[in-house]
Amino acid sequence: MPTVQCRCGHVLPDVSDRLPYKAYLHVDEHDELYWDGIVRETLGLLRNARRQTERQGVLDRMLPGAPDADVDDAAALADALSEHAARYTRQVYACEACGRLLVETAPGSGDYRSFVPEDDERAVLASDPEPPATA
């Protein structure tokens, strides 16, 4: 079970999505690389989808009634973007017990530095109760 342990001893389990004590960050020095990669991956998928549509058009003319190509664009894009983002994204946890922020020192390293808060705030990474609707 993936977990991160705070210096105070509290264990932060990371076994589900939408954790109120977890966030992701990418450093400003990688901001252009991060967004350029998202654009590149998205354009690549769009080009592939266009080629697939063209291929399907040819198949439809040559083999009427042939089944559509089985391409799940959303899953392909999610995989490509997740892989890209993992190269630049660090994980951050806010300890629910002591409030420390644990910031991963490099993407995927699993090594964390902790920072002690100056006040009693404990839920700095929690979102609004109602996230914005997605399309």
Residues lying near Zn ion in the complex (CB under 5 A):
6, 8, 10, 95, 97-98, 100
8 A C-beta contact, residue 114 and residue 12: no
| Smallest separation, CB 8 to Zn ion (Å) | 3
| Smallest separation, CB 33 to Zn ion (Å) | 32
| Smallest separation, CB 107 to Zn ion (Å) | 23
57 or 110: whose CB is closer to Zn ion?
A: 110
CA distance 71 to 86: 24
37 or 99: whose CB is closer to Zn ion?
A: 99
Q: Which residues of 31-43 are buried (b: 16+ CB within 10 A; e: fewer)?
A: eeebeebbeebee
Q: What angle do CA 110, 112, 118 make, to 5 degrees?
A: 155
84 or 100: whose CB is closer to Zn ion?
A: 100
> What six digits make up the tokens of 8?
């105070």
25 or 97: whose CB is closer to Zn ion?
A: 97
